[in-house]
Amino acid sequence: MTTSHFMQPKTFIIMSHKFDDEWFPVLRQLALFAQAEEAKEAALQGTTEGLALLEEAFLKSSKGKAYFGGESIGYVDIALGCFLGWLKVGEKVANVKLLDETKTPGLVEWAKTFCSNDAVKDVVPEAEKLMETVKMIQAMAKASLK
């Protein structure tokens, strides 16, 4: 890690907690439970708003480099990169493009770079395997309503 990862640790920690506590639950709602059109639209709006904020944060913190903290993977990259598979699941379930080259070009490039990095490429969950988990959770939720 370079020293750029430690320049604003408070900002990075706040950002990752905000993502974990506010954005991921909306994405989870989109991927798992948003069956009704109204719920799906609300979850989709929350997800796209969160991505717009992440795009802005990425552009400010990366300063033109490949990762949030600079030239190498750091804390925020790991915290956010863990959710890339779930983001792809949300795209499949909602039949939308969430990471969009026109709306979030920085995040699109970051995601490609992150997922192809030797340090993480073999541990980032595949969307297909996560989709199996989603189907199982949906079936369990449906069965519990009976």
Instruction: Map out the domains of the chain with their CATH numbers.
Output: 3-144 (1.20.1050.10)
36, burial (CB in 10 Å: exposed 0-12, middle 13-18, buried 19+): exposed
The answer to whether 83 and 28 have CB atoms below 8 angstroms apart is no
The answer to whether 104 and 48 have CB atoms below 8 angstroms apart is no
H/E run at residue 43: helix 37-62
* pLDDT for 9: 59
The reported pTM is 0.78
What tens digit of pLDDT does each residue of 91-142 get? 888 888 999 999 999 999 999 999 999 999 999 888 899 999 988 988 888 8
Tell me the β-bridge partners of 70.
67
CA dist list (Å): 10 to 56, 66, 75: 17, 21, 11
CA dist list (Å): 34 to 75, 93, 139: 30, 9, 14
Give the C-alpha separation, 76 to 121, whole Å.
Answer: 16
* pLDDT for 59: 92
Of residues 35 and 63, which shows the higher confidence score?
63
Hey, what are 9's tokens?
């640790």
- Enter the DSSP assignment of 21: I
Hey, what are 100's tokens?
């969009």
What tens digit of pLDDT does each residue of 34-45 get? 667 777 788 888
